[in-house]
Structure 1
Amino acid sequence: MRNAASWWNDEQALQRFICSLVASELASLRPGGLALPGFPWEAGLHLVDDLGADSLELLGIATALAESLHMHESGFEDYLLARPTIGEWVQIAQASLQHFSGKLTFRTSGSTGQPKPCCHPLPLLMQEVVELSALFSGRRRILCAVPGHHIYGFLFTILLPRALGIDASGIIDLRGSSPARLANELKEGDLVVGHPEFWRAAARLLPSVPAGVIGVTSTAPCPAEVSQAIEEAGMHKLIQVYGSSETAGIGWRDSSTSPYRLFSHWKKSAEAHHGLLRMQPDGQETSYTCQDRLQWTGPREFLPAGRMDNAVQVGGINVFPARVRDVLLQHPEVADAAVRLMRPEEGARLKAFIVARMPGIDHAELQQRLHSWVTEHLTTAERPKAFTFGEQLPKSSMEKDADWLITPSLRSTADVQ
């Protein structure tokens, strides 16, 4: 297990981490869209010459990497701007981690939709890896469809492989590939690390699965029909992990009809209904507040019962309808707007109801302008994929905000539910 703690000695693992972070930061800095080379990236890739990063973008990316690896603890962060190739950043990060590697910071979205840092001491992450290595013992390869710089991807595709003795040749990156590749790549004894939307797509393309393959999913609840379809294709089991960037993993289950079971270092707080206590390696207890309301079915078993910060999940990413609404309201032709997650039968993206500022405006033309607006100002997961127009926002008979059915873009009214 000490081998996993010195994860940064594996240059390929560290390079995957850095490449994932760079790609994510560039996508955030350029919400209008970004063409990047497919993974894996070569060590000689230059952030300025090859990826087109300008001076402000380079500063932002370097700052994000320095924050994530706590490079301020060792004083190596200033070298990043002077040597902006992937290979040089790997070397700089490795030198920094040789001096200090006790903490990592992962970023998430908070209740306002703005990213916030979540600092984790490495020994606490290793607690979870001990549990995971027992849960996934005997795995020979790991196929990953998640980025390594997020806490879920870091635990499962960087720390866990080293704990299981899986070398770099046994890590297969599926990002940017069709789930059809999964069907061709799978071998007996594999572990496949994905998220609900990945598994939804895979369920449609997996005719059969070799014996002994285990899947794992996190970032959002996995719909029961998706889990069932994967298991019917022959997956030995699909394990669902519950957690967040703030807490890391909290519990797991191997059936969508069962409650989650706490990892051994967690327990229910006696003082806060939605609170948890974590036993640290030194014996101290730390209290945490969950992002979800928890429905306890036993002393160590629970079910999530909805988020408390009004986030919704789109493609395994937390998005905030309130933030999307604020962006729509900044458009000069929008008087009011409502944003919701589509109903299951409508899709798995956001939808928007728009009240135009000018009565009688051509809704088809306005819709095109709104599509351009959200493409420029929002990330892919945040962009509404259906617009409905009306003279006022949908309300229930009690004058409360109400849902609406997606209607053709030229209709000016919507059915209120």
Structure 2
Amino acid sequence: MPAAGSAPWWQPRAVLHRFVSDLVADELQRQRRGPLERPMPWPADLDLVRDLGVDSLELLALATALSEALHLHASGLEDWLLARRRLGDWVEIAEASLAQFSAALTFRTSGSSGLPKPCVHPLANLQQEVAHLATLFPQRRRVLCAVPGHHIYGFLFSVLLPAALGQPALEVVDLRGSTPAWLARGAQPGDLVIAHPDFWQAVARTVPRLPEDVVGVTSTAPCPDVVSEAVLHTGLARLVQVYGASETAGIGWRTSHTQPYALMPHWSFAEGQGALQRSLPDGTAQVFTLQDQLTHVGERAFTVGGRNDQAVQVGGINVFPARVRDVLCRHPAVADAAVRLMRPEEGARLKAFVVPRGDLDPDEVRRLVRSLVDGELATAERPKAISIGASLPRNAQGKLADWNI
């Protein structure tokens, strides 16, 4: 736990500014289903209406998202957001609210319908985890972060962890404005790099050599074995893989893909398929049922199998091929469709096989489908390869089969 008298997590203000900026950008991109024209980082005097083109409905959605995340309703200051337009004003309102209530935060994830769902976490629980994480990363001088601060992974590692490491001057560098190749010239001994598998794959491809004593962390999705092996050839001292979810926060960790995950000290196995018990700071315990299939390795370790809810990971985001298929099949030009994750040699996105209705031209159907997915689906859900055929691919037993793109 942070030492008594230590600064609250939202100070200095730059920490909260990054949190609010990341949340606003993410929510606005979700509303618009596409990238924003104004690149980050954003200054405090950025006007949400003038500079981002936010309309009244979007403003309400953004204010609701921030109020939910930081529990602004507990202080009664959430209505001030609708009366202000500057990003810096929203940061100040959040700061004033947190000074009155900061005991819990809400993070969002994707549910089985593809819609975000709220996951409430007491701050004490998050600090309990970070106290253990701090023991895994001693003598770090900077945190280099390629993930947003309002997601639970980014919050734990780029907001709470620097303070828990006991170095008040620990610098946090946002990597999202640079390509991973920047690490070749910008990384320094003692750095801790917080990223996701796609980022590490790009590091393996573009960084010839890292300085010594640079440690990496990966989470949000399983890191392919070939990526974890390749990134170590760049000179990375070690790559720590963290397993967890928005509902649970971190559960286990490992330093090699050849090893099982070790449970964090506050977790233990419970009875039931995929059930785990968490010992809470207040002395009570809570049981969670996971969406992943876990195989126990002794009393304190595990391996991870497939998901029970049929989600797949695209860019660290849970997406549901069945939902994407339902969207495709609603189009009048589509008679049937199949959606699945690309094979590793094909890419890391979804692909779709579409059966046109009637005698429609395949190129026209492909154009219509692309227009549909761009308008109806979030970026991670959009199939990037669309194949057209008279019938869905099936194997000799008549079951749906994979196809080449």
Preserved contact between residue 194 and residue 218 of structure 1 (Cα < 8 Å): yes
| In 1, Cα distance between equivalents of 2:218 and 2:7 | 23
Indicate whether 1:37 and 2:38 are aligned: yes
Render the CA deviation track for 1:243-265: whole Å, top value 9, x for unaligned: 00000000000001110000000
1:130 equivalenced with 2:128 (yes/no): no
Alignment identity in percent? 59
Residue 249 of structure 2 corresponds to 248
Alignment-derived partner of residue 311 in structure 1: 311
Structure 1 contact 7–159 (Cα < 8 Å) conserved: yes
Shift of 1:397: 2.6
| Aligned residues of 2:188 and 2:214 also touching (Cα < 8 A) | yes
Q: Which amino acid aligns with 1:276?
A: L
* Superposed counterparts of 1:159-238, under 5 Å: 159-166=160-167, 170-238=171-239
Question: 1:139-184 CA distances to partner (integer Å, 9 max, x unpaired)?
Answer: 0001100000000000000111122245577111011321111222
Superposed displacement of residue 122, structure 1: 0.4
- Greater Cα shift, 19-28 or 157-166: 157-166
Instruction: Indicate the SS of the match to 2:135.
Output: helix
CA deviation profile, 1:80-104 (whole Å, cap 9, x unmatched) = 0111211111110011011110000
- Residue by residue, what CA displacement relative to the aligned partner does 1:292-312 show, whole Å, maximum 9, x if unpaired? 000111111101101111110
Is 2:385 the counterpart of 1:383? Answer: no
Structure 2 letter corresponding to 1:351 = K
Cα distance in 2 between the residues matched to 1:168 and 1:325: 49
CA distance in 2 between counterparts of 1:61 and 1:302 reads 39
1:240-291: CA deviations, max 9, x gaps? Answer: 000000000000000011100000000000x213100000012211000112
Matches of 1:369 and 1:157, distance apart in 2: 42
- What is the 5 A alignment of 1:37-186? 37-166=38-167, 170-186=171-187
Amino acid at match of 1:101: S
Q: Which residue of 2 aligns with 1:350?
A: 350
**SS of corresponding position for 2:228:** helix
Counterpart residue number, 1:396 = 395
2:338 aligns to what SS in structure 1?
Answer: strand
Instruction: For residue 215 of structure 1, give the secondary structure of its aligned residue in structure 2.
Output: strand
**Aligned partners of 1:279 and 1:285 also within 8 Å:** yes
SS where residue 297 of structure 2 aligns?
strand
Question: Conserved in 1, the CA contact under 8 Å of 2:183 and 2:210?
Answer: no
The CA RMSD measured in Å over matched residues stands at 1.4
Q: Is the 8 A contact 2:29 2:36 kept in 1?
A: no
Helix, strand or coil for the counterpart of 2:182?
helix
Structure 2 residue matching 1:240: 3-state secondary structure = strand
Between the two proteins, the alignment pairs up a number of residues equal to 403
Aligned to 2:105, the other structure's residue is in SS state strand
Query: Is contact 2:216–2:240 with CA below 8 Å preserved after alignment?
Result: yes
TM-score (norm 2): 0.97
Q: Which position in structure 2 is the counterpart of 1:292? A: 292
TM-score, with normalisation over the residues of structure 1?
Answer: 0.94
Unpaired runs of at least 5, structure 1: 407-417
Partner Cα distance (2:372, 2:130) in 1: 43
Counterpart-to-counterpart distance in 1, 2:160 and 2:326: 39
Q: Which amino acid aligns with 2:161?
A: L
Name structure 2 gaps, 5 residues minimum. Answer: none
Residue identity in the other structure for 2:291: Q
Contact 2:273 2:289 in 1 (8 A): no
